[in-house]
Amino acid sequence: MGKQWRVPPQTKVKITILTAGTGSYYCGACMRDNALVKALRVLGHDAHLVPMYLPMELDEEGADVETPVFFGGINVWLQEKYRIFRKLPRWVDRLFNGRGLLRVVAKKSHMTSAKEQGEMTYLMLNFEESHLGKELDKLVEWLECDGKPDVVVLSNALLGGLTRELKRRLGAPVVCTFQGEDSFLDGLPEPWKTKCWDEMGLRVKECDALISPSRFFAKLMEERLGVSSEVVPNGIDLEGYEVGSGEGKIGYFARMYHYKGLSLLVDAFIHLRTKLGDEKTKFAVAGTMGGGDEEYVAGLKRKLGEYGLEDEVSWHANVSRQEKAAFLESLSVFSVPAIYPEGFGLYLVEAMACGVPVVMPRAAAFTEIVEPAECGILVEPGSAEALAKGLQTILKDSGLRKSMGEKGRIAVEDRYHVGAMAKSFEQILRKVVEK
């Protein structure tokens, strides 16, 4: 955080950000929200982070580590399924809301049926039809005891079902940020996919402001929901990220699953080593590996073994922030060739912060980040061969690698640090509070 944005505000604003935790693996949205809260405090505001459903999993110190989890996943499920749990005293709820128990359940979440996920998502969006009034009471009472917020921020639109009641009971405006809702909802079975999209479209229209992390995602959500949003790029805290000097190593850092394009990058690495004559480059994979990802990763390892490349790839699951920075600094080139429409990609900015050039698909939000920064190469989406050639271009040219890396670091310092994000949020929040 640079000194240039440490400017005391004219009026302190009390801000509550509700964010959905993952409980079992590092959550990019949680880390963004945590950094944002800390940065808003630097600007002089009374900002707080409140976890929903499951505990937040962060690779850094939490801004509000003692805040209880609301709408705990176990209680939400029990109260919807069984009438008796809607009337039991709150001390019983607390038994099911312990962070340890929630984390255990979160590790098994991949076993939850898509149908059940669809039903619960719809009920949270169409809150008035749910049986979760007791959970809302607990949240509102806690917020009132802590001092009513001047504005509530929903970390994603899947929490939009709370908007109406929060505005009515707290008398505060509600701002919602868009973050990856499309990939989750599109993965639900019908009729839940359509019902949830329709309901979310109605609910976000009740918000006082909407924020998207990129122009791409703002346009996508306008097309799908019929709403406009202001664009505020995500930002990272630059502390701990230094420019490295890696040689001969391709890196991937994101959740280890199919939709982030890890399979595609494995295929590109195989093509690079077996078809393009590169016999020395290594491949390093790091990031989140949740309970349902082990089998997928095991399959990739078997595939690499078929080509005799299993020893040329290192795997680093669920690393700390310090380990993440060291990992990125060790790379020569970085790629996360996501195959779904990524709304931003914090991992991309983290690599840029370490001076690592990138090779990304010419798609989604990647174009508007990489092209202006001149920090990498954009290639044909979905093509392992094109990805391999892009990686090879950077690996073979040390001058190009150095120039792109330097430009990436400058772009983060200028546009993608948490101070810039906080100042943009501040302007929007002031606007809705002062209406």
pLDDT top residue among 116 and 252: 252
Is the pLDDT score of 262 beyond 90?
A: yes
Q: What is the mean pLDDT of residues 116-145?
A: 93
| Judgement on whether residues 83 and 226 belong to the same structural domain of the protein | yes
Claim to verify: residue 205 and residue 329 sit in the same structural domain? no
Average pLDDT over residues 23-29: 76
Q: Is residue 240 part of a domain?
A: no
Same domain, 92 and 221: yes
Q: Mark whether 52 and 151 lie in a shared domain.
A: yes
Verify that 30 and 75 share a domain, yes or no. yes
Q: What is the pLDDT of residue 406?
A: 97
**pTM recorded for the entire structure:** 0.92
Q: Within this chain, do residues 185 and 129 fall inside the same structural domain, yes or no?
A: yes
pLDDT tens-digit map of 342-393: 999 999 999 999 999 999 999 999 999 999 999 999 999 999 999 999 999 9
Same domain, 217 and 305: no
What pLDDT was estimated at residue 114?
65
Residue 55 pLDDT greater than 80, yes or no: yes
Give pLDDT, residue 338.
Answer: 96
Task: Tell me what pLDDT residue 7 has.
Answer: 40
Give the model confidence (pLDDT) of 137-162 as tens digits: 999 999 998 789 999 999 999 999 99
What is the CA angle 47-49-52, rounded to 5?
150
Containing structural domain, residue 339: 249-415
Question: Which one is predicted more confidently, 311 or 63?
Answer: 311
Query: What digits encode the pLDDT tens for the residues 182-202?
Result: 999 999 999 999 999 999 999
Q: What percent of the chain lies above the pLDDT cut of 70?
A: 95
| Same domain flag for 62 and 182 | yes
243, part of any domain = no
Q: What is the mean pLDDT of residues 397-426?
A: 97
Mean of the per-residue pLDDT values of the chain: 92
Residue 272's domain is classified under what CATH number? Answer: 3.40.50.2000
